[in-house]
Amino acid sequence: MKKSKINKKRYFYILLVILVIGVFVLGENFGNGNIYFGKSPNLNKQLSKNIDYSSVNQLYKLIRDNYDGTLTDKQVLDGLKTGLANSTNDQYTEYFSASQTKEFNNELTESFSGIGAQMGLNDSNQLIIVSPLAGFPAAKAGLQGQDIVTSINGESTNGMNIDTSVGKIRGPENTNVTLNIIRDGNHELTFKIKRQNITIPSVTSKIIGNNIGYIQISQFTQDTADLAQKAAQSFVKDKVKGVVLDLRGNPGGLVTASVSVSSLWLKEGEMVMQEKNQTQVLATNNATGGNILHGIPTVVLVDAGSASASEITAGALHDNHDATIVGVKTFGKGVVQQIFNLSDGAEVKITVAKWYRPNGQNIQHKGITPDKTVTLTRDQVKAGNDTQLNAALGILPQS
């Protein structure tokens, strides 16, 4: 949308108006059952089915008649839907327009146009670079893990969630995005980075050390289950003595992919995780069988960038006594989102439940504490000294 030069106070007022309208309009659809949670009960019975929205019409007319800028009906409607999603005050409940939906789906196939960096939030809720991917624009430009991103193309990232920030960083191939960052707490730097088309397999594997199988999963996407299965079969063929499952910097993804990966170790029927809302158990996700890596000593590597589906896998393997966890405490995302398709090609992602480890714990804002805590500093990374991987290898059989 083309932004006009209006003062900050008036701009804030207009955004507030759109947010209020959004809370009402989709709130009415929610009450009428146009947005639903399958067989789940209505968890928000306190919301009215019929609301007097005369004041909403009044606010809409104020924007239409007084806003010093250009708006389309589509932009207003997208604003309304975004408003309702934001009214939950839940950073993971989000509305995606049709174009944003396409970008989101591309992310799950690991094919997109961007800079090649995994994003996250630190303990202070600041947007950070979790890990620049080797060989791609972010790494080539000099971005580093733990860099705090303060603005994207001049827009402050204060209060911006991860999905929104990723959407702003991505864009057409060969276009530029400018990031202002703070490094090591006080160094302010600016990076102008040219986007490129990026296709990344979510799983890589190799044999390291003394015949140890190493498998790294960058994100749980649509290709993860098949690629992980092939890696596991290769390990069995090579008669590896142990396995390192590297989930560091893995922000999560598809729960189904997490269950499939966990099932490479877990016996059929063993719990991977359980989903519960305020009133009932919604689903129990169990291993599906084919556990060809069961019994092979395994270490899972995690860090503060390991979130969601990666935490599900780490917790499942640990709690079922199939793996030892090494690294530092994970991110702590213990909630489940479900994606609902809207009629115009848009989607809404709604937090529908919390998930629980096989040991009964929910990790929201807590994370998973490793069995063995091992830090990895930036200087150690630069020197090629992967202390966490070395610690994992020290746990696994050497002969």
Domains and CATH numbers, the chain: 8-87 (no CATH), 111-199 (2.30.42.10), 203-395 (3.90.226.10)
Return the pLDDT at 247: 96
Angstrom distance (rounded) from CA 282 to CA 134? 40
Give the percent of the chain with pLDDT over 70.
Answer: 87
Q: Span 126-141, mean pLDDT?
A: 87
| Distance in angstroms (rounded) separating the CA atoms of residues 139 and 230 | 29
The whole-chain average pLDDT of the chain stands at 85
pLDDT above 50 for 38 = no
Q: Which of 354, 392, 399 is nearest to 374 (CA)?
A: 392
Tell the burial category of 359 from Cβ atoms under 10 Å away from its Cβ (0-12, 13-18, 19+): exposed
Cα angle for residues 274, 276, 279 (degrees, 5° grid):
150
Answer yes or no: 333 catalytic.
yes
308 is catalytic: yes
Respond yes or no: is residue 344 known to be catalytic: no
Task: Kindly name the residue from 205, 306, 333, 349 that is annotated as catalytic.
Answer: 333
pLDDT in tens, 59-99: 889 999 999 999 998 888 888 888 889 989 988 899 988 87
- pLDDT greater than 80 at residue 200: no
pLDDT digits (tens, 9 = 90+) for 330-384: 999 999 988 899 988 899 999 999 999 999 999 999 999 999 999 999 789 878 8
Catalytic one among 165, 262, 308, 310? 308
Which candidate in 223, 246, 319, 322 is catalytic?
A: 319
Residue with tokens 């090649």: 116
Q: Average pLDDT for residues 192-203, to the nearest whole number?
A: 90
Determine the Cα–Cα distance for residues 392 and 387; give it in Å rounded to an integer. 9
Give the contacts of 34 (CB within 8 A, at least 6 positions apart). none
What would the mean pLDDT of 18-46 be, rounded to a whole number?
41
pTM reported for the whole predicted model: 0.71
Q: What's the CA gap between 26 and 262, in Å, rounded? A: 38
Place of tokens 């800079």: 115
Does the pLDDT at position 230 exceed 90? Answer: yes
What pLDDT band is residue 385 in, cutting at 50, 70 and 90? very high
